[in-house]
Structure 1
Amino acid sequence: MNYNLAQRFLDNVKKHPDKLAFVIPKGIESLDSYTELKITYKDFYHEVSKYRNGLIESGYKKGDRVIILAPISEKTYAFMLALFSLGMVAVFLDPGIGIKKILNAISDSGAKAIISIDKLLKYHLLIPQLWFKKKYSVDKKRVGIRAFDELHSNEVSEFTPESLNELDHALITFTSGSTGRSKGSDRNMKNVKEQIKSIEENWNCSSDTVDFPSFPMFGFMNVLCGITTVVPAVDFANIAKFNAEVVIHQMEKWNITRMCGSFAFNKKIVDYLKENNKQVKSLKNLAFGGCPVTKDFCENLSIVYPNSKCEIIYGSTEVAPISTVEVNELLNSKGQGFLVGRPYTGVQLGIVKLPTHISEFDEREHTPYEVKNGDVGEVIIKGNHVVQTYVDNPKATRENKILSVNGQRWHRTGDCGRIDERGRLWLVGRTKDTITNAGKEVHPYPIEEVLDGIQDINRSAIIQNNKGITIFIEGNLVNTLRDKVSSIIKDSGLQEFKIKVISKIPVDDRHNSKINRVKLREMHV
């Protein structure tokens, strides 16, 4: 059996060659400059074939790794599929993780080549991580920098994907590194196949689906599922900054039926629609994640998307999806923390208190470490679509994975949570952000949720270090409000703390919505 997922794409080309594969936006700054490039499955096949032949002509072979750090376009998607077809490994770097983590990821990738932009590559002589890699620029050729078009042959030919087994490398994606250095998740063919299977079983992937994903990897997954992707008119390196008028125009023109993305991306669209008394009636499925969301935002979804099922998806780079909850259920639920719902079929979830050093379970699995139902512990996950290792990083694998007797690994999410009486998962914080006070553990999410609900407070964050506990407030904190905040904090069990008002609480570079506590500590504590 050939596990090469490029075969799924070839099957889709034969099934519907004239169906639209991609609608690529151009001139995204305004409606006056906006244009589109429409690509059918047959057209896309030709582009994949040309890149495949270009890679062969340039001497690349099965197993070679190539970094893709370039704007999302029809070219980068076709190039990725060409890599897959040859059994090469695409190392996908999200520009949203920030330059420091990008350079670390380049160093850790083991790649032979990088596809990127002149803004980075022009400094290649000053960046040791780039010295021994072939460098291709998508926008400007220089001395020592090849043009990306050199990998694009003029020849189109029929091809058969390289034969692969289920454990062959497919894709390497790097974590956001929200608690430190980004890690390369080593996705093999079986892992990606199972992830696509989970998506197809749990989300609308019908033949008439028109997807609008702000998570770039979904565009690649979509051609394997045979559906149409309209790429949002955004800069994926700064997902929260875009012209909402242009994005709404795309949604209305193409009758978007499915959409996913971060809270920051979705909130801007929802705010624009509500302010302009507009609705998108074609949307049937909306999923978002990346951080806790506000109830005010959720209440507006049914107004602007009257025909859509709206759900929150919990997942991570190493395993997605994990669980889901519909927005209506979230609005009608009360509890401490952030409700992320019930695990998907095929996901085994445990809430545990683990010893400091543990790398494998015995035949009892996680049972000896499970907490009582309703108690808080670390969330661990096992399933066929869970990434098993980090690329070339056995230390990170030992620290974040636990081996079962059957050879499969549990993933330590680093999240703290609890299971309620209805079998639903609530997240209360990250393990590294747990606050220790008078011998008891206090978790930040429930407290921050209450503070964020106060008028004039935009966002809050609780940080502890060796100097004590600090409550950061982004907003206007008058004296009466300061007293209210102090009272809430004391009611949570914390008695000694200081309150600090700052202009902006930093958020993660990828989703532009999750609190960047590492940066917050560096800046203020």
Structure 2
Amino acid sequence: MNTMQEFGTIAQLVHEHATQAPGRIALVDNERSLTYGALDALMDRIAASLQRDGFKPGDAIAVCATSSVNYAAVFLGALRAGVAVAPLAPGSTPASLSRMIEDADARILFTDASAAEVVGAPKDGDIPRVALDGSAAGQSLESWLAPVGAQPGAVETQPSWPFNIIYSSGTTGEPKGIVQGHGMRWAHVQRGAKYGYGADTVTLLSTPLYSNTTLVVFFPTIAFGGCVVLMPKFDALGYLQLAEKHRVTHTMLVPVQYQRLMAHPRFDAHDLSSFRFKFSTSAPFNAALKADVLKRWPGGLIEFYGMTEGGGTCILEAHLHPDKLHTVGSPAEGSDIRLIDEDGHEIPRGDTERAGEVVGHSAGMMTGYHRQPAKTREAEWFDASGKRFIRTGDVGRFDADGFLTLFDRKKDMIISGGFNIYPSDLETVLRGHVAVADVAVVGVPSEQWGETPVAFVVRRDGDGTTEDALLQWANAQLGKTQRLARLSFIDELPRSAIGKVLKRELRELVGH
């Protein structure tokens, strides 16, 4: 196996593992496991079935289902046929799901009972449906598959071909299809050796397979011949039990999952000594929580900062840089990360005083937003030499050591009385109070100031602090221009399936 070659395919690597170690376990869910030999054979049948149905390289399938062995096999089998995969969220609305399927030009939908409500009853003109779980969601996978032993026609996959179309979570409105090429995914695989992936890797994934957060760890694990344990729905105790049972070495978790795990009363009772690396991405990860993970959970902790669109990554190896936990790390090898001001002018390197929007360039960049050239152009920035960068929409500043501190999403920045207020600064102050278990600050319209900050706080169980007392305490800590107009307790912050706080929903609450 040569993951350092200029370009290769994950589907071919699966075949190599199946040839060398057919009995090694590749995939596990809560119902079954699959060896590399069986996975390779199933991928052949899936690829042959798609070719039988007229699929050609560059065509697309859609998958809307809960994570499972069959889901993973269909994803990998489609790739073997050169067919792109559009993994879609079962939590979408029916109208949004229809638009995404149409936008991806998907010609078949793989689904299961968990998505029945969003998929709805079949209508005339719908694309064929295949049920991954043997339910009534569609034709059974087994009856759709080509016979055992079926071999697909050979496909010479090209780096520029679409690998998958990931639809943005919709936290900023209408989902956009982010086209990632085979070359971009191969770049993710190539960095895998640095993080200890190998045939003895056991990766536990409790985030969904439609999320890029999950896929950036799923594919390197499979590419290096490791085992992926899929947890269809996260709960803290269940996660700890699986991690101990399977002697897990790697995992990807979003910050809110780390928060729930570290707070679980049984956390320290579980043997997690098998862990080598824990990863995190997708949402702000506060420094105190990182420190707690480092103290109580064996193995390295690595935070990735980047976008599904690609364009460069910052990496914080938290176990090696405990003094930089307030940052998201420094640019990864091969990533060119820069800052630009409001007018699109580059902030000079070495300027540690000014913040700007983060833009990035790397080998791992989206081709563009599917069928949305205008949106693609909005997401791009070009330097003086014409080099293409992807705009993140995040505001940050580099320190003297080249580590990036993020302040906030550009769109979440509050401009109050002409002053820029970063909600993350206010959230950090509030987290310093013993009553605060979780918090989010949003800007709301103000006749006097244009915008003004409002806080939503999840109070710790059993704490008796009142909203007014906490508001007064916070405002005593904050600068005059930062002071909160209002503070409300809330049972739980609204979050996407991968842990992003849905600030749009919080702003809507203010108006009620």
TM range (shorter): 0.7 to 0.9
Deviations 1:477-525, CA, capped at 9 Å, x for gaps: 3544322112233x16235x5213132453321223x321111112223
Q: How does 1:185-200 map onto structure 2 within 5 Å?
A: 185-198=178-191, 200=192
Distance in 1 (CA, whole Å) between partners of 2:304 and 2:118 is: 39
Q: Does 1:136 align with 2:130?
A: yes
Distance in 2 (CA, whole Å) between partners of 1:197 and 1:298 is: 26
Deviations 1:159-200, CA, capped at 9 Å, x for gaps: 5641122211111111223222221110112111112223x1
Aligned position for 2:107? 112
Report which stretch shifted further, 49-58 or 131-140: 131-140
CA positional deviation for 1:471: 1.6
Aligned position for 2:212? none
After superposition, the Cα gap between the structure-2 partners of 1:261 and 1:165, relative to the gap in structure 1 and judged at 3 Å, is same
Aligned position for 2:327? 339
Aligned position for 2:338? 350
Q: Does 1:20 align with 2:25?
A: yes
Distance in 2 (CA, whole Å) between partners of 1:274 and 1:326 is: 27
Query: Aligned letter for 2:453?
Result: T
CA positional deviation for 1:201: 4.4
Aligned position for 1:282? 274
CA positional deviation for 1:158: 4.5
8 Å contact 2:252–2:278 — kept in the other structure?
Answer: yes
Matched residue SS, 1:319: coil
Distance in 2 (CA, whole Å) between partners of 1:157 and 1:437 is: 65
Aligned position for 1:315? 306
CA positional deviation for 1:442: 1.9
Aligned position for 1:461? 440
After superposition, the Cα gap between the structure-2 partners of 1:104 and 1:465, relative to the gap in structure 1 and judged at 3 Å, is farther
Query: Aligned letter for 2:227?
Result: T
Distance in 1 (CA, whole Å) between partners of 2:287 and 2:245 is: 29
Distance in 2 (CA, whole Å) between partners of 1:276 and 1:115 is: 40
Distance in 1 (CA, whole Å) between partners of 2:10 and 2:154 is: 8
Aligned positions, number? 489
Aligned position for 2:462? none
Q: Does 1:219 align with 2:221?
A: no
Percent of residue pairs identical: 19
Deviations 1:76-98, CA, capped at 9 Å, x for gaps: 11111111111111111244567
CA positional deviation for 1:407: 7.2
Distance in 1 (CA, whole Å) between partners of 2:228 and 2:321 is: 29
CA positional deviation for 1:273: 6.6
Distance in 1 (CA, whole Å) between partners of 2:237 and 2:116 is: 33
Matched residue SS, 1:493: helix
Q: Does 1:494 align with 2:479?
A: no
Aligned position for 1:440? 419
Q: Compute the TM-score of the two structures, normalised by the length of structure 2.
A: 0.86
Q: How does 1:66-465 map onto structure 2 within 5 Å?
A: 66-95=61-90, 101-118=96-113, 120-121=115-116, 131-139=125-133, 145-159=138-152, 161-198=154-191, 200-215=192-207, 216=209, 217=215, 218-232=217-231, 234-235=232-233, 239=234, 242=235, 244-272=236-264, 275-306=267-298, 308-319=299-310, 322-328=313-319, 332-333=323-324, 338-355=326-343, 367=346, 372-403=351-382, 409-465=388-444
Matched residue SS, 2:353: coil
Query: Aligned letter for 2:508?
Result: E
Provide the aligned C-alpha RMSD in A: 3.0
8 Å contact 2:91–2:118 — kept in the other structure?
Answer: no
CA positional deviation for 1:408: 5.6
Query: Aligned letter for 1:498?
Result: A
Aligned position for 1:59? 54
CA positional deviation for 1:315: 2.3
Query: Aligned letter for 1:458?
Result: A
Deviations 1:185-218, CA, capped at 9 Å, x for gaps: 10112111112223x1432213322212334323
After superposition, the Cα gap between the structure-2 partners of 1:369 and 1:420, relative to the gap in structure 1 and judged at 3 Å, is closer
8 Å contact 2:358–2:392 — kept in the other structure?
Answer: yes
8 Å contact 2:166–2:177 — kept in the other structure?
Answer: yes
Aligned position for 1:517? 503
8 Å contact 2:336–2:361 — kept in the other structure?
Answer: yes
8 Å contact 2:237–2:266 — kept in the other structure?
Answer: no
Query: Aligned letter for 1:444?
Result: P
After superposition, the Cα gap between the structure-2 partners of 1:222 and 1:201, relative to the gap in structure 1 and judged at 3 Å, is closer
Report which stretch shifted further, 403-412 or 285-294: 403-412
8 Å contact 2:48–2:152 — kept in the other structure?
Answer: no
Distance in 2 (CA, whole Å) between partners of 1:182 and 1:122 is: 19
Q: Compute the TM-score of the two structures, normalised by the length of structure 1.
A: 0.84
8 Å contact 1:389–1:401 — kept in the other structure?
Answer: no
CA positional deviation for 1:153: 2.2
After superposition, the Cα gap between the structure-2 partners of 1:153 and 1:401, relative to the gap in structure 1 and judged at 3 Å, is same
Distance in 2 (CA, whole Å) between partners of 1:121 and 1:480 is: 46
8 Å contact 1:415–1:430 — kept in the other structure?
Answer: yes
Aligned position for 2:470? 481
8 Å contact 1:122–1:142 — kept in the other structure?
Answer: no
8 Å contact 2:112–2:132 — kept in the other structure?
Answer: yes
Matched residue SS, 1:270: helix
CA positional deviation for 1:281: 0.8
CA positional deviation for 1:418: 0.5
Distance in 2 (CA, whole Å) between partners of 1:105 and 1:330 is: 41
CA positional deviation for 1:127: 9.0
8 Å contact 2:311–2:362 — kept in the other structure?
Answer: no
Matched residue SS, 2:49: helix
CA positional deviation for 1:250: 2.1
Query: Aligned letter for 2:485?
Result: K
Query: Aligned letter for 1:415?
Result: D
User: Larger relative CO (CA 8 A, sep 6+): 1 or 2?
Assistant: 1
Distance in 1 (CA, whole Å) between partners of 2:240 and 2:348 is: 49
8 Å contact 2:63–2:110 — kept in the other structure?
Answer: yes
CA positional deviation for 1:3: 5.2
8 Å contact 1:55–1:151 — kept in the other structure?
Answer: no
Matched residue SS, 1:340: coil
After superposition, the Cα gap between the structure-2 partners of 1:131 and 1:75, relative to the gap in structure 1 and judged at 3 Å, is same
8 Å contact 1:97–1:509 — kept in the other structure?
Answer: no
CA positional deviation for 1:119: 5.4
Aligned position for 1:362? none
Distance in 1 (CA, whole Å) between partners of 2:186 and 2:387 is: 16
